[in-house]
Structure formats: structure tokens, C-alpha cells
Structure 1
Amino acid sequence: MKSIFSYKTLVSILYFAAGIALMGGIWELIASLTKNEIPSPKMTWAVFKEVMNNPFQDDPDYKGIGTKLLSSLGRVATGFGLGSLVAIPLGLLMGSSKAVMNIINPMVQLLRPVSPLAWFPLGLAIFQDSPKASIFMIFICSLWPTLINAAFGVSHIPQDHKNVSKAFGFSAWKYLTRIVLPFSLPHILTGLRLSIGVAWMVIVAGEMLSGGIGLGYFVWEEGFNGGSVAKILVAIIIIGIVGLLLDKFFMSLQKRFSYAQ
């Protein structure tokens, strides 16, 4: 009978399990050294089960952890989606034209290193609304990886591909759909994978500033209003798991459209 898992998959699972076990051991040691000021994995697991009881509760006085997670994911999806709609075509344009690259690239290099927290007050001034300011912050910060990778992909199209398009008299649309997009797609997906990671990290900082019902505000509220450290750890674990799943999703897209496949 053929094994369900390949040898490579089993090795990956074992490495993953070893990494989790190592992290759990370090966590247990820290909990012991702090005399459980930092809750142990066992204590955190008990709180995790408590928090996951009715996770999608949406009462005016209490929002379940699932409701908070969906709120955060909604903001990330909006900011990331808008950022991608701007970054992909602008990146393709930059990669296709040296003049556009020379004009836009200095702005990209100037704005890209700016801290995410610096964009929140600007968004608040523009929209006069905290949740929209958070989305604006995600939008700005998630632009750059996709923009840069899309531009890189197009600028490295082999000359042979361009010669073929000229020989067959491709229209601009046909050149875009038959040459530019197929060749640059793996690079774009790499950018999207990096961008979704940035967007998911930024949402926590954004919600700490904006309030609301997201996971970021939940961490802030528990940490600075005398809340439970165990609940903070639960939120961190959920944030980490969701971030891992998002990364795995875009990694699978990368592999699906990679020329190596």
C-alpha cells in the first residue's frame, strides 16, 4: 500500500514538530524562571480553551475571539487588496519603461523605509476615522514588496521573448497577456506573499492605535488595562497561526505557477 505521505513530507513534519517542541521547552523554562508571571504552556492552553468557548459571540458588551479575528482579517483583506490593485499595474509599468522606473523608483525608495506607525496619523487626518486610518496604513505598507517584485519580473523578461512578440506582431494587449504576465507572475506572487505578511503584522499595530474589536486592540486592552497575560499569549498564538496559514497559501500559489514545476 502506497504511503499517504512522501518521505520529504514526513521529514518536514518532523522538523516542524521539533521546532514546536523546542519553542515549548523554552517557553516552559521562561515560565519557571518567572514563577509563572509568564504563564506556562499548560496554563495558556487552559485559557485558550476558555477563550475559544463561543468564539463568534457578537454581543454589544462582549465580542468573541473569532469575531475579533474576522474584524482584523477584514481590514487586512481591504488594505492588502487595494495595495495589490495599485502595486501590480504600477510595478508592471515600472518594469516595462525605464523612464517610469527612473521617475517612480526614487519615491518608492524614499517612502518604503517609513515606519508603519508614521502612516496612521496621516490616515487619521485624511479620513477622520480610525478603522479607515488602519486600512490606509496597511495599504501603504503592503504596496512595496509587490511593487518591487512586479517591476523586477518585467524588467528581466529575456530579450528572446521580446523578439518573438515583435516577429509575430503582437499587439500591446497580446504582449501583456502572452509575455509580460506569464513571465512576471511568479515574481508577483512572491511580492504578494511578502506583502500579506507585512499587512498581517501591521494590523496589530494599527488596531492598538485605532481601537475597535480586532486582535490588535485585544492585545493592547489586556496588556495595559490589567488584563490576563495568558490571553495575550493566546492572541499571539492565534496571530502566528493565521500568519502561517496565509504564508502557506501564497507559497502554494508560488509553487503552482513556478517555472520550476
Structure 2
Amino acid sequence: MTSPVRLASQEQEQPAGKAPLPQAEIIPYPGTHPAAAEVKKGIDLSPLLGGLRNAALAVLPTLLMVAALLMVWEMACSGEGSSLPAPSKVWTDSKEVILHPLKGVEMDGIGFKIQDGGDVGIAGHVLTSLKRVALGFTLSAIFGIALGILIGQSQFAYRALDPLFQILRTVPPLAWLPLSLAIFQQAQPSAIFLIFITAIWPVILNTAAGVQNIPMTYRNVAKVLSLNPFEYFTKVMLPATVPHMFTGLRIGIGMSWLAIVAAEMVQGGTGIGFFIWDSYNSSLLTDTIVALVWIGIIGFALDRIVGWIGRRIARQA
């Protein structure tokens, strides 16, 4: 667009006998001046406020329910002669455990170290249990997914192994403990084996179900495109079975957490299971209740973490 101009008469030297010619003076178009271009815009806080509102709506019902349960618990157990301590008594008697969970834990780079011969806070026991769960669950995920793909792809392997898996998965976790102690002779590898043997079955069965439920259309397209085994795995099988895999992994991580707590209660030493059993033997029921809260929160967090990883992988697969 041509900027408006204003004609201004200015005297210039012109040839004799001719009238002076007008000269154009350029006037900036309104709004094109540099000062006018600097328009201050306010910060849009609506996305942030919307996110906070959604988070509050998601958390508020749970907080209200927890508050209501605590009130009922307090009223039911605050009287004399109650065998279960009220929340106020839990806070009074176990304040040291609640406020100093990292007592006796030394951070060593990206890891941690539990002090020997000292009183260890509840977080130290939780970290020890989580370390065992991480090792056992990782092994169960690797072998479980591999075996699930095998019996999902091969009818012969399915007929041969599925009945065996169905029998073994019904064995309670603690029933494996004497056998694992007899094989490994030590508490640490026995606990890891117990987690492995407990968590592997849902991973195997859910992965196999995902492979078997791949639509025939996908298989036919893979044949038409002459995909090699690696391409078929990455482009067809993996995207189709990721939801089933992570369903099994979410079940497996929950069962791993249950198994390690039970195993540590029997084996002793360190770990959140040992902390619960030791508190019970010491008649510290309030410490046991605090440990149960920790177990529930950690189990919830593990489930959500595995689910979040599964959703991310499913979107990228």
C-alpha cells in the first residue's frame, strides 16, 4: 500500500521563466512508526489457570474422602480401650518416624548407602525394597515379554507352555520362598527371585494375548509388503501389543511390591517388610500404620509411573 503523502511547496532553483515544481514530503502511514509497533501484550494466564483448575478438580475429591476417613477413624478410635490407635496418637507416637524418614541414609552419588549398625529411617527401608523390586521386575519384564511373544506367535509353543504357566502362576509368592532360600542360600538373591517369579506371569500372559489379537489385516499387509521379522516386530507387532504389554507390566509391578513386603517380613534384615514386622514385635503399632501408608503411596506411584511410560511408548510406536 502506498503511504499517503502531503504536498509541500518548497522553493528550488528552476530554469528561468518556469514556475517552481511542488515536492512530495513522505508522511509515515499511521501505525507504521517504530514507536507504534511496540505494542505491549499482556501475558495469557488462561492455560495455566485451566491446568490448575483441572488438577484441583482431580485431587479435591480424594482429599475430601481422606479427610472424611480420618475424621471417622479419629472418632471411632479416640476412646479409651481402643485396640487401634487414632490418627492423633499415630502422629504423637510416631512423629520421629514421620518427620525424619531419611535418618541413617547417606547419598552416594546417584545411589544411596544405609549406615551400618545404626537406626535407619523408614525411607531407608523403602529404598532398599525398591532396589530389590527394580532388579526383580526388570528381569521379569525382559523374560516375560520375550516368552509372551514366543507363545503368542507360535501355536506349538502356546500349547506346550500355556498349561504350565497357568499352573505356576497360581502358586502363592511366599510358597516360593523356601525353595529360593534353598537354591540361593542368601536373602538378597532369594528376594529378587521371589519378585521375578511373582511378576513374570501377568507379563507373559498379557503380552501373548496382545500378539494373538493382532488383526489379520495387519498381518496380511505385512505379507504383501514383504516385511522382514525385524520390520514386522517394530512396525506391526510392537504398536499393536504395547497396550497389552503394559497392562501386564502394571499388574506385575503391583505384585512385585506385594511380594517383596511379604518376603522381607519373613526374611528379616532390611526393607519395608522387615520394618513392619520389627515394629509389630516391638509393640509399635503406630509405626506399623505409618509404614502401611508408605507402602500404599509407593505402590500407587509405581503403578502410575509404569502406566505413564506405557502411554508415551504407545503414542510413539
The match for 1:133 among 190, 195, 208 is 190
3-state DSSP class of the match of 2:148? Answer: helix
1:178-217 to structure 2, matched below 5 A, reads 178-217=235-274
Q: Distance in 1 between matches of 2:223 and 2:191?
A: 45
Q: Which has the larger radius of gyration?
A: 2
Q: Distance in 2 between matches of 1:202 and 1:34?
A: 36
Calculate the TM-score normalised by the size of structure 1: 0.92
1:66-215 to structure 2, matched below 5 A, reads 66-215=123-272
Q: Distance in 1 between matches of 2:295 and 2:233?
A: 38
Distance 1:195 1:26, change over 3 A: farther
Task: Please identify which structure carries the higher helix content.
Answer: 1
State whether structure 2 residue 284 is matched by structure 1 residue 228.
yes
After the TM superposition, which of the residue ranges 24-33 and 107-116 deviates more from structure 2? 24-33
Distance 1:26 1:143, change over 3 A: farther
Runs of 4+ in 1 over 4 A off after TM superposition: none
Count of aligned pairs between the two proteins: 258
The gaps in structure 1 that reach 5 residues or longer are none
The match for 1:45 among 77, 85, 91 is 91
State whether structure 2 residue 297 is matched by structure 1 residue 241.
yes
Cross-structure match for 2:57: 11
State whether structure 2 residue 77 is matched by structure 1 residue 31.
yes
3-state DSSP class of the match of 2:243? Answer: helix
After the TM superposition, which of the residue ranges 21-30 and 84-93 deviates more from structure 2? 21-30
1:216: Cα distance to partner? 0.1
Q: Distance in 2 between matches of 1:118 and 1:9?
A: 43
The gaps in structure 2 that reach 5 residues or longer are 1-44, 105-114
1:53: Cα distance to partner? 1.8
Distance 1:30 1:134, change over 3 A: farther
- Given that 2:101 and 2:124 are in contact with CA atoms closer than 8 Å, whether structure 1 keeps it comes out as no
After the TM superposition, which of the residue ranges 38-47 and 140-149 deviates more from structure 2? 38-47
| Structure 1 residues 77-102: Cα deviation after superposition (integer angstroms, max 9, x where no partner) | 11111111110110011111111111
- Given that 1:131 and 1:212 are in contact with CA atoms closer than 8 Å, whether structure 2 keeps it comes out as no
- Does 1 or 2 have the higher relative contact order (CA < 8 Å, sep 6+)? 1
| Structure 1 residues 120-157: Cα deviation after superposition (integer angstroms, max 9, x where no partner) | 00101110112221211111010111111111111000
- Given that 2:206 and 2:245 are in contact with CA atoms closer than 8 Å, whether structure 1 keeps it comes out as yes
Question: Which amino acid is the alignment partner of residue 250 of structure 1?
Answer: V
